[in-house]
Structure 1
Amino acid sequence: MDAATFLIQCLNALQYGLLLFLVASGLTLIFGIMGVINLAHGSFYMVGAYMAYALSPLLGGNFFVTLAVGLVLAVVLGYVLEWVFFSYLYDREHLQQVLMTYGLILVFEEVRSLLVGDDVHGVQAPEILAGSIPLGDVMTYPVYRLFISGVCLALAFGMYLVFTRTRLGMKIRAGSVNREMVQSLGIDIQFLYRIVFAAGVALAVLAGMIASPVSSVYPGMGNSVLIICFVVVVIGGIGSIRGALVAALLIGVVDTFGKVLWPEAAGVLVYVLMAAILLVRPAGLFKAG
């Protein structure tokens, strides 16, 4: 493997890992802070991809306007879902949570089939980001993939600031530790949870929207993402944003270089990594926070 190829694979690993982090961060927020096992989280990723496909023609093909409108709709969707469904699950057993959220997967798939059909679609990358940068004499790397990495890094830094430097982050962290105590201090924990859930949905939807130009938009695309995101959450530590970032980057490197160097075993290397880490740290790499 020459230097240019190695650099390209490093960039691919970074981009894939950061995209995984964007989805998994929303999952670990909902799972770790609210205590809800949300199997429908992958469906939000799918919803984001289909939003990018369906909204773009309606908004004149402007990709950035599509992202903005999609994010607003995602926040509304998350807020309504928490109010109508998830607010009743906090004191229920995990089996009931799994059954209800699995039912949501079926609902999302049927609604998607009715609205846009079952064909595979593509989304055009914005023209301003459609070029490539040279790497070596013959290789290039798409600018849009660098844009994806940049967006994910910016959001990761933004989440760090919110959780460690703001009163909202302090309330969310306190609510994840002792819900009753936070309520006794006069904080509306129900509204706080709705904000957390809406933010988690928005992160997954945004990931689906920005990923759509580099991957096909197809039925069931959220299912495989959900599995690998649970792996990220388990490795990183349930409820830990920092852990989700580190775990997603590790998985990006293992998966990308595994497919290049050992393609026959690439499908299991991520799970071998998870097993190895859990043998040493059963609770994951980091504690919640």
Structure 2
Amino acid sequence: MTGLFLLQLLNGAQFGILLFLVAAGLTLVFGIMDFINLAHGVLYMVGAYLMAMFTAQTGSFWLGLGLALPAVLVLGLVLEVTVFRRLYDRPHLDQVLATFGLVLMLSEGVRILWGSAPLSVPMPAALSASIPLLGPMRYPVYRLAVIGAGIAVALGLWWLITRTRAGMLLRAGASNRAMVSALGVDIGRLFRLVFAFGAMLAGFAGALVAPILSVDPGMGDNILILTFVVIVIGGAGSIKGAFVAALMVGIIDTVGRIFGPIWLRAVMDPQAAAQAGRVLAPMLVYILMAAVLAWRPAGLFGRAGAR
């Protein structure tokens, strides 16, 4: 049982890291621009498809990753210039409707280009081994590499935001966007950079998950919902909050789905425990969100009244 718990804990941490990579850019967009972008999950999906395409064309996982990331960054820039910048000063309902329409368009574009059948990406040979855990259980090296890559990105973002001038502008923009603009900062350029970088991070998450999960047109929908949960729990505009909340959501969701029915057997018969566990496990992250909002309405690391 201990080995199984450790295995699911690592799986939850890996899932949380992927959530963080998607949430990092979106929380900056939401915190700085007060902009609701439902199309962010599509960038995660597009990153996975580009990874599959470039890996198949080059025959190399690493070349595929090196080509997919700048491609998603360019896509983020194009979307910001052509669509998003026209929505900054519009009401949230307009932003939701416009970006939802963009989701439909990009999802259909993916089906036209790559079809509806799931695609797969081969795992790199250097990371295809596994290491022993407790007992007979083993854990894939690739999943550990995903966790390591996510932690490295988190540390890089921490350095960027706390130790550089660009990070100072981001923090100032999250606190008072109008004041930053009044001080002569090109707020439009800042928005473009945030959008492009956030798109690249979402695409990076999609590229990393491609060898683990099948690449299909609906893969961005579920992760977008959990990404918004992460942002609400961590606090809009907070990278630290996104990292902590993503790990919490990933671990609670993964461990709860496996161990929920097992723990319920202590107070219920096995059949009822299995049924109740299947119903309650998907609710755990939303119960966590409700509890955090009741305690801290702005999120764990959010600032009340920040804009």
TM-score, scaled to structure 2: 0.90
Q: How does 1:1-289 map to 2 (within 5 A)?
A: 1=1, 3-59=2-58, 61-262=59-260, 263-264=277-278, 265-287=280-302
8 Å contact from structure 2 (residues 55, 65) kept in 1: no
Looking at structure 2, the residues matched to 6 and 181 of structure 1 have their Cα atoms a distance apart, in angstroms, of 49
| Deviation for aligned residue 1:141 | 0.3
Deviations 1:163-203 (A, max 9, x none): 00000111122223333332333321111110000011001
- Shift in Å, 1:6: 2.0
Deviations 1:2-24 (A, max 9, x none): x3222212211111111111111
SS of 1:133 mapped into structure 2: strand
Distance 1:30 1:203 in 2: 13
Which AA in structure 1 matches 2:5? F
The alignment-based identity, stated in percent, is: 52
State how far apart, in whole Å, the 2-side matches of 1:80 and 1:120 are: 27
Determine the C-alpha separation between the residues in 1 that align with 2:204 and 2:129: 22
Determine the C-alpha separation between the residues in 2 that align with 1:214 and 1:45.
14
Larger Cα-atom Rg: 2
CA distance in 2, matches of 1:83, 1:35: 17
Counterpart Cα distance in 1 of 2:176 and 2:293: 26
Letter in 2 for 1:36: F
- Structure 1 counterpart of 2:179, which letter? M
Q: Which amino acid aligns with 1:54?
A: M
CA distance in 1: counterparts of 2:180 and 2:235, whole angstroms:
23
Separation in 1, partners of 2:112, 2:146: 30
Gap regions ≥5 residues in structure 1: none
User: 2 CA distance for matches of 1:277 and 1:181?
Assistant: 30
Please state how far the C-alpha of 1:108 moved relative to its aligned partner.
0.6
- Does the aligned pair in 1 maintain the 2:28–2:194 contact within 8 Å? yes
CA distance in 2, matches of 1:132, 1:284: 37
**CA deviations over 1:31-68 (Å, ceiling 9, x no partner):** 11111100011101110111111111222x21112111
- Give the superposed CA RMSD: 1.3
Q: Tell me how far apart the structure 2 counterparts of residues 6 and 184 of structure 1 sit (CA, whole Å).
A: 53
Q: Which moved more, 1:4-13 or 1:178-187?
A: 178-187
Give the secondary structure class of the aligned counterpart of 1:79.
Answer: helix
Q: Tell me how far apart the structure 1 counterparts of residues 257 and 167 of structure 2 sit (CA, whole Å).
A: 38
Equivalences, count: 287
